[in-house]
Amino acid sequence: MMNEKLEKLNRQLAQGEARLRRAQHEEKILEHQIKQLTRKERTHRLCTRGAMLESFLIRPEVLTDDDVMEILKQAFSQTGMKEVVAESVKRRVAGEPLTE
């Protein structure tokens, strides 16, 4: 009688451990998928915004990274630019449309 209970408990323990291993494996898979999607979203965003930037540059293929950085520094140091960016972020975070 005691042996049967012990065997049953050991079986339940083994089954529980197997479920735990499966769940841990599934968790790793899901974490990997989240990282992959986040990376894809960032890559897409960088490509899209890089294309936006290039649409404003004259002959972007001849400019170096340093040239573009200097242009951006100049553009973003203009009076009012920081406020425009901050307001855009504030409204986007609040869920409001940026254009009315």
Same domain for 5 and 50, yes or no, is yes
Same domain for 49 and 67, yes or no, is no
Q: Would you call 65 exposed, middle or buried from its count of C-beta atoms within 10 A (0-12, 13-18, 19+)? A: exposed
Same domain for 51 and 63, yes or no, is no
Same domain for 8 and 38, yes or no, is yes
Same domain for 49 and 64, yes or no, is no
- Mean pLDDT, the chain cut into blocks of 10 residues (100 residues total): 90 97 98 96 97 96 97 93 91 75
pLDDT of residue 99: 61
Same domain for 47 and 63, yes or no, is no
Alpha helices by DSSP H, 1-100: 2-56, 65-76, 81-93
pLDDT of residue 1: 72
pLDDT of residue 98: 60
pLDDT of residue 27: 98
pLDDT of residue 19: 98
Domain that holds residue 25: 1-56
Same domain for 1 and 45, yes or no, is yes
Same domain for 5 and 45, yes or no, is yes
In terms of C-beta distances under 8 Å and separation of at least 24 residues, what long-range contacts does 28-35 make, across chains too? Answer: none
DSSP 96: -
**pTM > 0.85: yes or no:** no
How many domains would you assign to the chain? Answer: 2
